[in-house]
Every structure is written in structure tokens, then in C-alpha cells.
Structure 1
């Protein structure tokens, strides 16, 4: 499920309140967002609850209720979403651990292990679109370390559109890692074009821009599923890929 522009604005505003130590207002906004997403069984609800708990912690208050609610929510997802049970149980275990429910944390971790051997790396193609050879090399290296093998690279927008269109027509479902600053067609134009033809396409934006800049926010609004800011680490790339996978199942 894509993040609606209104929800994105509310999330950004809540983060701003948190950054400015307006913790009560931030807490209330994160809780409202969490409870809305819980109705849709969306994984983002757990993140919002954890952020709400951070607001409580910064006030010097007990954050047990928010983390307990997040843990129980993740357990519910683990039981209902078998394809991602490993991930959901691990999230529940971390939340239980933070509030001292050690037996529950251990059980959730053990349940996660039952599903670990069922996780199979996707063989879908990944398309890297960037005009920097160094960035393409870095991305390729990180992706191979993460277990991906079908990696194709292009260094301009027109070639990217042609390749991705060809893959979609052949019933393949690529993940696109898209630079915003290409020499011919800009990334926001490419993203909009691709999402107009295939609204559920997985696009991860790669840019030196801040997430709050107008063109990045606009492109996210088109339906891009994740964002990575240069320079990036392998963990940041993995988190973006995980976010993309979650957006496809929620």
C-alpha cells in the first residue's frame, strides 16, 4: 500500500515535532498514524508505535504501553502473513526485549527461526539507473553481498525506460534503483512515466537530495516505495529493499 501524500505530510510533521522536543504533540500524531495503519494491517503501524514510545522516553515517562502494543501487533502480523513471519516475529522480539518481557522475547525469536529456512531470495531483476560508474559499482557490490544476482545497469534515462518497459512486457517484475539526476531524462520524470504504466512498480530513489526537498517529495507522492540518500551504506540499501517488499504486501 503506497503512502498517501497527506499521511506523508503528517509523518514529516510528527518527526519535526519530535526533533524540536515537542514530544507530546509528536506522540499524539504518531499514535493516530499507528492506529489508522493497524486497521489495514500495515507494518508501518509498528514503526509509528515505536516512534511514539521514543516521544514518551524523551519526556522521562514509561514507554511500556506503546512498545507492548507494537509487539502484540507484530505477533498478529506474524500469524497472518506467513511470507513475512520471520521478520514480524523478530520485530516483536525486539519490542518485548526493550520492555523487559524476556520470556516473550525469547519465544518470539524462536518462532522467527522456524520460518528462517523458508525465506527464499527473490530472483526478480534489479535495474540500476545512474550515470556514475562509481555508484553503479558500489550498488552492484552491495546487492551481491545481499544475495541478489540478476542485476542490470544503465546510465541514462532513455535506456532505462526502454529496458524496464521490455521487462514489464515480458511479465517480469523488476525493482528499480533510480538516480534523480540523469544526463537526459530526470529521475522524477522517469518515475512518473513508469508508475503511470505500472502503478505497483517498485522504485527506490537514489539521490543526494534531502527527503524533504520538493522534487523528492513529489516523486514519492507519485508512488515510489523507498528512498536512499547518497552517500549510503549497505544497511541503508537493505532497509530500502525491505521497505519495498513490505509495501508490496501491505
Structure 2
């Protein structure tokens, strides 16, 4: 049975969502999915040229901002709040860098991953929380199955995503009794244009090899649909944690890969 949130709370205005990491991949797909579902969207990312394309396709408002910068996030929130209520914050911005073993890891890469995946997420959450409280809104954090199970070569990314997941869970506990939902969506293998390319420092062949022979990895649109669905549920329903993997993937290390 499907639930229609509008049946419980008839809307007096269009709902509005802020989506970070919106210049490509899951973020861009989420902007498109929410726009198609009747949301007004604010697409946030560092790359103005990519955001312009997202705006053209979806009608999104765009804000260029680096979530690792206090000043940028303060400016982002001022701009967003000045132009209307905020019903949802979807935190997609993040990413992986490198595949070194822990014993040989590049600590600067670890620091960058923590800054983006954890501190960038919660810097934005903190600043937007008053507006979300006022709108009885929702916070969605797109983490990863890397936040559930470690795997070799993933130490820094796994550590950052575990931290992001645990902080999200802590926030959920701390906001019980307040009119804000906190939702964690953890995708497994998702084939996007940039995730693995960034991880492998721009090496296209190594990035392509990640998905080679895997029948049906997730696409960005699959994760975007999970976000859209959790936000469409009646306000009393909180999807605490949703793990989404392709059928071909049983765990980070158990994968159907064919010749």
C-alpha cells in the first residue's frame, strides 16, 4: 500500500528541499527526482558550470558553495532561508579518495574525506536545523554500506562513513520529541560518472574496472528514488536506516562479477 503524505497534511505550498553534492551523480539525480515529485529544489555544489546544467534540466535554484568552508555554508543558509521555508535537507556531498592500505595511507586524503563526508554534512545540518524545525522538516544523510562493513583498501573512506552514520544516529536520538525526521540511506555499489574516477585520481581505466562484469550495479536514479520515497511518507514515519544494494552485491566483498 502506498502512502501519500498529502492525505495526512494537505499542503498549503510546494515543499522545498536543499540537496548538497548536486552537480552530478546521486545529488543531481535526487534534485531531478524531487522536482518531478512536485518539490521546489535548491541544488548545492562547488561547480557552478555543472549546477547550471542541473538548473536547466530541473528548474532548481542553485547555490555554489564549498561545505568544508564555514563562510560558504553560512552564506548558503542565509540565501536559502531568505528565499523560503526548508522542508528537507538531503546531504549527498561526500566521496572517497584512494585505496591505500591503512599502514600506507595518505593521512591528508583521510583528513579531506573526514572534512567532506562528516564535518561538511553536519556543518550544514547545524546551520539549517532552525529552519527545518520551523517547517517540521526532514534531514536525509546519504551514507554508504561502507558505514556498515569495512573492506580492504577502504580504511579512510570507511572510517569517515562510519563516523557520518554514527553522528546521524546520534542526531536521531537527540531530536526525538522534535518535529524533524532523520533518515540514513546507505547505498552499495552505484555506477556514477565520477565516484570511482575521483577515488582513482582520474584514472578512467581503473574506475571502469570497478564495475566491469557486474550485472546491474545501482544507478544514481535508484538511490534518488529511495530518497524521494522516504520523504514522501507521512510525517510520523521515520525511515531510520535504509540499505540499498544491487542484487549482484551481497556485501562490499561479495559480488557477482562475470567474465
Larger RCO: 1 or 2 (CA < 8 Å, sep 6+) = 2
More helix by share: 1
| TM bracket (short chain) | 0.3 to 0.5
Q: TM-score, normalised by structure 2?
A: 0.40
TM-score (norm 1): 0.41
